[in-house]
């Protein structure tokens, strides 16, 4: 554990643990309003739990700590806020309940946990001082917090552990439950099925003018034409600036010396491999995989063998599509047995089987390079574009500053005057909707935002895009309006066909299921309604049927008798009708091999369910007793996805 604490990913997990207090699931807060006096006295109040406040400032502090370790995408900020608010509320409820029940964390328990997390703070039982303590916090966890804040988080985490232990200590799993779960997970079925895809029926939908007109009138609000704008613009193109830039040999050598680390090559090997995965397999299964790997190894060592073709056929790795090509690897990049083989195997030779935690590997080393620093002449050609780009960027930035000054003199100045002053050309684009791009520029969100911010005739400041800088002027604005049928006809036709094909697919599925259940041959009925009967491979509840769906989506297949036909099953807009062709019962003689793992999994699941039930019950009691009150406005403001 202590070694893993040094890794960055685990730092983040630890931070989330102390922030979220290890809550098993997201809390669903019932919005019981706060009284007006509470809100007025603390305008940033989000919730009040038994008289203790949870504020927007509390939430922001936790968000700031997370953002010091990883960036939070804007689209996920509301999700993070909700998690943090709900966990802070739960934390306060636990503390209140602990006070009621007399549950507390002792100093000895807190010190023991700190010793576990930060053993280097102690020499035997002797504490090495608060200065060392603060330094260790920063170095080990990267958390910008005080010692007292850290110890408070430790105490809250230990308190939550006590409650979790109290709630789950009596939870157990019986042998019968393990056997039933083994049976449920390992039984398999095979089905004869017909998959009805509405997209295959769209061409069969007849569209009359009367139908189209009626559909358009009923759904007219869906066919609004957005505001569109036409613009004039000038483009300061970095590529054009770069074509005029000249670089000297002195500049190239200076770049080489400044970036010398880029040209240091480590010991490295260009490796291809074939992987036979063994993760999660039983000992018997691993032995079968080994035998298969040995057979492929013999093929790989045959005189005319093509290693890449064998990788495409047999490898379980994602590199199989590229013939097993891992590219160049360096020491420390792969697990030890793989690395040892990669750097000891002669170039062009096929390795013996190499076993790692992932499975069995067959390696082929195509090339190997010894560590060295590439000389200037060898890399000179590759430096030219980098130096040219840097000089072009500097010159373009200088010119953009001059453009900025010119625009600031008058935002209503004709764009043509500025273009003439700087030797640029005025170009036109539009009319453009907010989702459109300027054709010769492509996607540039900041540029598109600027187009719809400007007033007609107003000049923009230079907008930075990938290609350089753009100055805009809006020439014409067409307001948003209701489209006519003639203007949006293609979209209306597509929507009409799509909806009708969905209805037609459901009708066909109902007909197919009804007739097959009445005794007609499923294959013959499928042919009549225009679809093909297929037979699946066997699959379990946790498995999947390629091109159809997961075993969980086809859960009814495990309760139907062999030969019984299903009701129509909706699968993401498609419809499935099937007949159970065969059933393969679980091999109970293999239960003992999986008993311990299954027991642990079921126990964890039952404990999680028990703790979640406790959490929900606690929240419900606090709400009913008036001890949990939420400021609905602030809660929604922080957790709204918009």
Query: What pLDDT shows up at residue 533?
Result: 93
Instruction: Supply the pLDDT for residue 103.
Output: 93
pLDDT, average across residues 245-269:
88
Q: Where does 356-470 have alpha helices with state H?
A: 376-409, 415-421, 445-451
For residue 126, the model assigns a pLDDT of 84
Q: What is the mean pLDDT of residues 293-322?
A: 92
Tell me what pLDDT residue 27 has: 52
Provide the H-helix boundaries in 188-280: 209-218, 238-244, 249-258
Q: Is the pLDDT of residue 38 over 80?
A: no
Q: What is the pLDDT of residue 42?
A: 66
User: What pLDDT does 632 receive?
Assistant: 87
What pLDDT, on a 0 to 100 scale, did the predictor assign at position 142?
A: 61
Q: Which of 18-27, 142-151, 258-267, 588-597 has the lowest mean pLDDT?
A: 18-27
- Neighbour-count burial of 89, counting CB atoms closer than 10 A to its CB (0-12 exposed, 13-18 middle, 19+ buried): buried
Supply the pLDDT for residue 37: 43
Written as six digits, the tokens of 81 are 């806020």
**Nearest alpha-carbon partner for 566 in 554, 574, 552, 582:** 554
Q: What pLDDT is stored for residue 265 in this prediction?
A: 78
- Backbone dihedral region for residue 546 (phi beyond 0: left; psi -120 to 50: alpha; all else: beta): beta
Q: Which CATH architecture has domain 4-169+613-639?
A: Orthogonal Bundle (1.10)
The confidence score (pLDDT) of residue 407 equals: 87
Looking at residue 322, what is its pLDDT?
92
Lowest-confidence pick of 10-24, 184-198, 372-386, 448-462: 10-24
Q: How confident is the model at residue 40 (pLDDT cuts 50, 70, 90)?
A: very low
- The distance from CA 47 to its chain's CA centroid, rounded to whole angstroms, is 30
Percent of the chain whose pLDDT exceeds 90:
54
pLDDT band of 12, cuts 50, 70, 90: very low
Q: Is the peptide bond before 431 cis (omega within 30 degrees of 0)?
A: yes
pLDDT reading at 7 higher than 60: no
How high is the pLDDT of residue 298? 94
Q: What does the pLDDT look like over 388-441, one tens digit per residue?
A: 888 888 888 888 898 888 888 887 888 999 899 888 999 999 899 988 999 888
Q: What confidence category does residue 25 fall into, taking pLDDT thresholds of 50, 70 and 90?
A: very low
Q: Which long-range contacts (CB under 8 A, 24 or more apart) does 425-430 make?
A: 425/234, 426/232, 426/233, 426/234, 427/232, 427/233, 427/234, 427/235, 428/230, 428/231, 428/232, 428/233, 428/475, 429/230, 429/231, 429/233, 430/228, 430/229, 430/230, 430/231, 430/475, 430/476
pLDDT digits (tens, 9 = 90+) for 184-240: 999 999 999 999 999 999 988 999 999 999 999 999 999 999 999 999 999 988 888
| Backbone angle region of 133, left / alpha / beta, with phi > 0 → left and psi within -120 to 50 → alpha | alpha
Domain pair 188-219+488-584 / 228-247+380-481, same fold: yes
Q: Indicate the average pLDDT of the chain.
A: 87
CATH, range 188-219+488-584? 3.10.50
- pLDDT of the residue at 521: 93
* pLDDT band for position 503 (cuts 50, 70, 90): very high
**How far is residue 313 CA from its own chain's centroid?**
29
pLDDT at 163 over 90: yes
Task: Name the DSSP class of 489.
Answer: H
CA distance 601 to 599: 5
Q: In this predicted structure, what is the pLDDT of residue 15?
A: 41
| Token pair listed for 245 | 């830039």
Q: What is the mean predicted confidence (pLDDT) over 552-566?
A: 91
Q: Mean pLDDT throughout 477-494?
A: 94
What confidence score (pLDDT) does residue 542 get? 85
Mean pLDDT along residues 5-33: 42
Percent with pLDDT over 70 in the chain:
93
pLDDT of 297 strictly over 50:
yes
Domain residues of the chain, as ranges?
A: 4-169+613-639, 188-219+488-584, 228-247+380-481, 267-370
Over the stretch 359-368, which tens digit does the pLDDT of each residue have?
A: 999 999 999 8
* Mean pLDDT across 367-389: 88
Topology of the domain comprising 267-370: Chitinase A; domain 3 (3.10.50)
Burial label, 119 (beta-carbon count in 10 A; 0-12, 13-18, 19+): exposed
Confidence check: pLDDT of 277 > 80: yes
Average pLDDT over residues 58-71: 82
Mean pLDDT, range 277-291, rounded to an integer: 89
- Fold of the domain built from segment(s) 228-247+380-481: Chitinase A; domain 3 (3.10.50)
pLDDT of residue 559: 92
Q: 93-135 pLDDT, tens per residue?
A: 999 999 999 999 999 999 999 888 888 888 887 888 888 888 8
What tens digit of pLDDT does each residue of 184-193 get? 999 999 999 9
């Amino acid at each position: 554990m202590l070694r893993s604490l040094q890794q960055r990913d685990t730092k983040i997990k630890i931070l989330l643990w102390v922030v979220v207090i290890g809550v098993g699931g997201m809390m669903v807060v019932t919005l019981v309003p706060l009284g007006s006096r509470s809100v007025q006295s603390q305008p940033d109040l989000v919730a009040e739990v038994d008289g203790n406040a949870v504020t927007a400032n509390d939430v922001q502090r936790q968000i700031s700590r997370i953002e010091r370790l990883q960036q939070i995408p804007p689209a996920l900020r509301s999700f993070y806020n909700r998690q943090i608010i709900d966990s802070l509320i739960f934390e306060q409820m636990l503390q209140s309940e602990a006070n009621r029940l007399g549950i507390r964390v002792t100093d000895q328990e807190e010190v023991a946990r700190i010793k576990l997390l930060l053993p280097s703070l102690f020499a035997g039982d002797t504490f090495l001082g608060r200065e060392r303590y603060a330094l260790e916090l920063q170095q080990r966890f990267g958390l910008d917090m005080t010692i007292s804040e850290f110890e408070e988080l430790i105490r809250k985490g230990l308190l939550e552990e006590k409650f979790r232990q109290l709630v789950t200590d009596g939870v157990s799993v019986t042998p019968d439950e393990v056997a039933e779960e083994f049976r449920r997970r390992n039984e398999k079925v095979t089905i004869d099925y017909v998959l009805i895809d509405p997209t295959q029926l769209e061409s069969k939908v007849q569209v009359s003018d009367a139908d189209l007109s009626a559909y358009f009138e009923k759904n007219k609000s869906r066919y609004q034409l957005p505001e569109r704008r036409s613009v004039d613009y000038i483009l300061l193109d970095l590529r054009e600036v770069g074509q005029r830039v000249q670089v000297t040999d002195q500049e190239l050598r200076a770049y080489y010396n400044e970036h010398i680390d880029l040209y240091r090559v480590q010991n490295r090997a260009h490796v291809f491999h074939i992987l036979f995965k063994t993760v999660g397999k039983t000992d018997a299964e691993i032995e079968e995989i080994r035998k298969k790997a040995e057979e492929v190894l013999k093929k790989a060592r045959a005189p005319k063998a093509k290693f890449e073709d064998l990788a495409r056929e047999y490898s379980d790795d994602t590199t199989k599509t590229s013939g097993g090509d891992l590219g160049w690897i360096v020491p420390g990049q792969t697990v030890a047995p793989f690395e040892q083989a990669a750097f000891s195997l002669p170039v062009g030779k096929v390795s013996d089987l190499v076993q790692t935690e992932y499975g069995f590997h067959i390696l082929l080393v195509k090339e190997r390079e010894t560590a060295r620093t590439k000389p200037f002449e060898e890399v000179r050609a590759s430096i030219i574009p980098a130096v040219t780009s840097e000089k072009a960027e500097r010159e373009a930035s200088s010119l953009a500053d001059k453009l900025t000054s010119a625009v600031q003199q008058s935002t209503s100045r004709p764009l043509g005057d500025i273009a003439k002053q700087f030797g640029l050309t005025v170009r036109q684009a539009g009319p453009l909707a907010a989702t459109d791009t300027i054709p010769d520029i492509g996607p540039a969100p900041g540029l598109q935002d600027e187009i719809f911010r400007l007033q007609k005739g107003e000049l923009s400041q230079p907008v930075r895009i990938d290609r350089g800088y753009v100055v805009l002027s809006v020439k014409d604005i067409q307001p948003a309006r209701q489209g006519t049928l003639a203007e949006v006809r293609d979209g209306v036709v597509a929507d009409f066909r799509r909806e009708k094909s969905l209805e037609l697919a459901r009708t066909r599925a109902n007909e197919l299921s009804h007739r097959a259940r009445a005794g007609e041959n499923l294959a013959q009925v499928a042919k009549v309604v225009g679809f093909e009967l297929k037979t699946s491979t066997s699959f379990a509840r946790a498995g999947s049927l390629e091109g159809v769906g997961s075993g969980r989506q086809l859960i009814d297949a495990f309760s139907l008798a062999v030969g019984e036909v299903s009701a129509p099953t909706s699968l993401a807009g498609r419809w499935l009708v099937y007949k159970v062709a065969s059933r393969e019962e679980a091999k109970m003689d293999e239960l003992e091999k999986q008993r311990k793992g299954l027991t642990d999994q079921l126990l964890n699941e039952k404990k999680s369910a028990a703790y979640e039930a406790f959490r929900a019950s606690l929240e419900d009691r606090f709400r009913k007793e008036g001890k949990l009150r939420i400021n609905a406005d602030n809660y929604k403001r922080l957790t709204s996805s918009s």
